[in-house]
Structure 1
């Protein structure tokens, strides 16, 4: 017989709108692999706790996490994803964790990955009478095409539609991405926008270092094309290789700077033998790498926002990105960078070639990107999420 879970008797409790909120967050990857989505979730938790909220995070964990988690992290049973062992998939939610959540008396439950544990948490929220929201951080349904499994995409989309139906709110990273999700039928409502911010004290043009470039064998007048991210196929690595190889075929002087690491590094490195690979960088080292490049190349079509675009803009360099996903919400074609039709090698090469040949154009577009990045403030963005939490908690109370 299934165990029934109920919140403790709420009589005598202070109304949710006049006390610190109690928030439960489910994450498919909170800190065992570093990526833009889990860093955004950690920032949200830090902000919530700074506002007096009490947060408990449930996620698969690892013995070798990528970084220390923010807040209280509770491990959820999980298994390594076949073929991508660095990622983990949560099982359903054991009764002991259901009791833990019920005893915590959450005011809201936030789901950030459509895994079995989050499906179970969605049902639990309904049983407890607690509002439940979800945030969409990546286009899961597109990933399988990069590994020869595109035939299962329709089935994945059916599961996603079921998961995102009947929620009290859905957060997306940009209005354009929300429209894409509606157009594909994965969500059936108008979502709220939970954008992303950028740390402008960390990412800024002042981090540029000629000395660092020299240490890598880069000449002062040599245009540097930067790529930043995990080295996985869904980041568009094959398009990066095709575009820079086309530049080489045209005889256009450039250097390719790769910042990041991942399971596809060996495959990628074989295709761009002249590239400089720094491996994983973080903190001021990462900021220095952005500012020391002359442009960013981001051909990924799976991004829902594109944190790397914003970090590059804050660093004062233009962005050449695929006209897809969240890229269009950040990059203004011909103003802060270039938006290119996905998978068109010649178009990428044309945009990169222009920036390589026209230092004044890349400087002007970099300056415009820097100005645009000033509007993206983490506290304002996360404050909007908290306001929506409070509104939903008030409605349910």
Structure 2
């Protein structure tokens, strides 16, 4: 079915999508990079897209498409992030003029709730994309008692939407089991093979950081925030030190927990935030990726490391389970199992041939993830919501 054939207008016209995001480009992360790629794809397919999200003076990167600012306030204690506060009269007027065929919400914040209400009152279908497991966050900040009410709130929000898309089969299954919505489909993630490739490995760059050629490098890639499992990462590396397993740690990323992380990783090299070819070089110059996080719904960093032919040690969690084949392209360990993570890392540190074999399997798996094919699933989901129901 052609896109124009299902748009409910008297004339053949571009599909109009209103996308709501709590963070579209002011701080770089995997979720907003996926959204920007999606918008770029939709525009290339002839759609009209208008993005509603907080704006800042100096965003992390230029937004793809037209961005309309919504009122927002900094999050206490995490001021780099903004909380969208209201669907203001100005934004409502803009939304009315745009007259979207579909509303897409990507974070369960106040503005997204209001956008869902706005759409439902006008019989406009709503698609929600799920990018992170918000219910897992409280445990990292000593507030585990909030998990149950947070789950209940998420359930109310997602059941007000007509359909959900999630980035991994394991996350699709979990959302259905949690009762978030019955209509959940897959919107996975892609990887840029021009950036993430084994050929980007640069031993001279490693040497410039003081890393010897024969040292096994355990890599961390991501925002330096506690919910990424920094405590588990540092504890597993400390266990390797205790066992006398030689290794170096390479940390790619920035964030408010950098000081905490630095104190606990005595032999680590911190290279900060990297972009484009520099990021590809840094990832390919690791010998393995260690991703202990359980908050991701997909794990972009895991796929990027696999594309660079690195074995991955990851927690048994949504996302990683759909990417890493345990004992084939990496090792999956129960969340928080410090000895288990140390065992898996030690195996790769002491057996480079095993690391190479598992890395090659990961690269083969990563070759299946092309961005256009991935993003076409979201366009198909929009079309299904607009198709006449028989």
Q: Scaled by the length of structure 1, what TM-score is found?
A: 0.94
| 2:345 is equivalent to residue 328 of structure 1 | no
- Say whether the 8 Å CA contact 1:32–1:61 is kept in structure 2: yes
- Say whether the 8 Å CA contact 2:217–2:250 is kept in structure 1: yes
Q: SS at 2:121's partner residue?
A: helix
Shift of 1:149: 1.7
RMSD: 1.5
Q: SS at 2:384's partner residue?
A: helix
Q: SS at 2:387's partner residue?
A: helix
Q: What residue is the counterpart of 2:200 in the other structure?
A: 207
Question: 1:184 and 1:388, CA in 2 relative to 1: closer, same or farther beyond 3 A?
Answer: closer
Q: What residue is the counterpart of 2:56 in the other structure?
A: 62
- Distance in 2 separating the partners of 1:13 and 1:78: 37
- Distance in 2 separating the partners of 1:332 and 1:255: 25
Aligned residue among 84, 105, 129 for 1:135: 129
- Distance in 1 separating the partners of 2:146 and 2:232: 24
| Aligned ranges 1:276-287 → 2 under 5 Å | 276-287=269-280
Question: 1:244 and 1:120, CA in 2 relative to 1: closer, same or farther beyond 3 A?
Answer: same
Shift of 1:390: 1.9
Q: What residue is the counterpart of 1:359 in the other structure?
A: 352
Q: What residue is the counterpart of 1:99 in the other structure?
A: 93
Q: Scaled by the length of structure 2, what TM-score is found?
A: 0.96
- Say whether the 8 Å CA contact 1:30–1:59 is kept in structure 2: yes
Aligned residue among 162, 167, 170 for 2:161: 167
Question: Where in structure 1 are there 5+ consecutive unaligned residues?
Answer: 1-9
Q: What residue is the counterpart of 2:73 in the other structure?
A: 79
Partner deviation per Cα, 1:122-172 (whole Å, 9 max, x = no partner): 011112221111011001111122111221222211211110013221001
| 2:379 is equivalent to residue 382 of structure 1 | no
Q: What residue is the counterpart of 1:296 in the other structure?
A: 289
Partner deviation per Cα, 1:209-244 (whole Å, 9 max, x = no partner): 010011011111110001000000000001111111
Partner deviation per Cα, 1:325-345 (whole Å, 9 max, x = no partner): 211000000000000011011
- Say whether the 8 Å CA contact 1:313–1:366 is kept in structure 2: yes
- Distance in 2 separating the partners of 1:11 and 1:227: 47
Question: Where in structure 2 are there 5+ consecutive unaligned residues?
Answer: 1-6
| 2:217 is equivalent to residue 224 of structure 1 | yes
Partner deviation per Cα, 1:49-75 (whole Å, 9 max, x = no partner): 011111000001211211000000000
Aligned residue among 157, 177, 187 for 1:194: 187
- Say whether the 8 Å CA contact 1:323–1:341 is kept in structure 2: yes
- Distance in 1 separating the partners of 2:185 and 2:172: 8
